[in-house]
Structure 1
Amino acid sequence: MKARHISWLALFTALSVVGGMLKVPAPVSSVALDSFPALLAAGLLGAVPGALVGAFGHLISALMGGMPLGPLHALIAAEMAAIMWLFGWLYARGKRFFSLTVFVLLNGLVSPAPFILLMGWPFYVGMVLSLMIASLVNGVIGALLLPRLLPVYERLIGRVRA
């Protein structure tokens, strides 16, 4: 990876930290606007850098929120990495609206599903609304910024990576 790409990766991770400070009211304090920089990274840099920003962004957001779920945040970070990778993969193939829809549904409805086994249905039901709102807001911000940043990124760096 070139130094320019590493710099962009660091920039998006830093933006994810800032987004992690913008919390969405939820039973767990790690629900925040930390995903839209990962969406931007996945759309501009590619699926793998987007996955890295998604995982680190969640961990930093959880750390700033006091790590309420403890080591279970590693599971959430892995889920975020997988969701961002899939988003980046779909986005690179021109399925822009579908990729955002998949992101919102996976992040809002599917990612908290393992916690049904760990913490029960009340936790899942309590989290879904907050996660859906945060996913929708992150997705809308990503959808608004990505088309505007693509030409800038291509002019500065070159072609967008898949």
Structure 2
Amino acid sequence: MRSKTFRLTLMGMFVALSFVGSYIKIPSPFQSIALDSMPAFLAGLMLGGIEGAVIGFLGHMLTAANAGFYLTLPIHLLVAVIMAITIYAYHWTYKKANLIVAGIAGIVLNGVGAPLVLALMPQFGWGFFIGIAPFLILASAVNVGISLVVFTAVKKTKFVQSAGLDYGK
């Protein structure tokens, strides 16, 4: 495995990609659904669960900031923590099973689990869940799908092999 500096540099690049992805919105009534989580999902596979979780947290906060903290800062902090947990679980599932199971887990946790947590809060409720879940499932499928395709291609390259990335395993 390469140095900590190398890994931190990659993390910085993934955070930057999350920021760029935060500008690529998936049309919905909720302004903060975007392609910000793909780099975190990819980093969860390439760098590991903790690194991916940090990138997922920061990526969500960048997207929420771009949208003006549509659901308020405290709620977006909660969602960012849920995103970090989701990315860690995605990494863990890949480590324990395979890419297909990890992909399903990532989509379900991000697309259903996150809004379910908010639906249990009195200020949101089930109407919020029903309204946002279809868009989040779509966004999650796109983000996870791209991460799986890129990971599958990138792990075969000489760069990744020479970098000594552990692919989360």
In structure 2, how many angstroms separate the alpha carbons of the residues matched to 1:40 and 1:62?
A: 20
Match of 1:36 among 29, 35, 38: 38
Contact 2:11-2:51 at 8 Å conserved across structures: yes
What is the CA-CA distance between 1:154 and the residue it aligns to? 3.0
Contact 1:46-1:92 at 8 Å conserved across structures: no
Give the secondary structure class of the aligned counterpart of 1:73.
helix
Give the secondary structure class of the aligned counterpart of 2:152.
helix
What is the CA-CA distance between 1:151 and the residue it aligns to? 2.9
Runs of 4+ in 1 over 3 A off after TM superposition: none
In structure 2, how many angstroms separate the alpha carbons of the residues matched to 1:116 and 1:47?
A: 26
Amino acid in structure 1 at the alignment position of 2:143: N
Provide the residue aligned with 1:46 in structure 2.
48
Provide the residue aligned with 2:152 in structure 1.
147
Deviation string 1:82-138 (CA, Å, 9 cap, x unpaired) is 000011122233511000100001111111012223311111111011101100111
In structure 1, how many angstroms separate the alpha carbons of the residues matched to 2:135 and 2:165?
A: 36
In structure 2, how many angstroms separate the alpha carbons of the residues matched to 1:67 and 1:133?
A: 21
Give the secondary structure class of the aligned counterpart of 1:112.
helix
In structure 2, how many angstroms separate the alpha carbons of the residues matched to 1:117 and 1:154?
A: 42
Provide the residue aligned with 2:26 in structure 1.
24
Give the aligned length: 162
1:157 aligns with 2:159: no
**In the TM superposition, what are the counterparts of 1:109-148 in structure 2 within 5 Å?**
109-118=112-121, 119-148=124-153
In structure 2, how many angstroms separate the alpha carbons of the residues matched to 1:5 and 1:94?
A: 24
Normalising by structure 2, we get a TM-score of: 0.90
What is the CA-CA distance between 1:139 and the residue it aligns to? 1.3
What is the CA-CA distance between 1:148 and the residue it aligns to? 1.0
In structure 2, how many angstroms separate the alpha carbons of the residues matched to 1:135 and 1:159?
A: 25
In structure 2, how many angstroms separate the alpha carbons of the residues matched to 1:150 and 1:12?
A: 16
Contact 2:47-2:165 at 8 Å conserved across structures: no
In structure 1, how many angstroms separate the alpha carbons of the residues matched to 2:160 and 2:5?
A: 16
In structure 2, how many angstroms separate the alpha carbons of the residues matched to 1:21 and 1:82?
A: 23
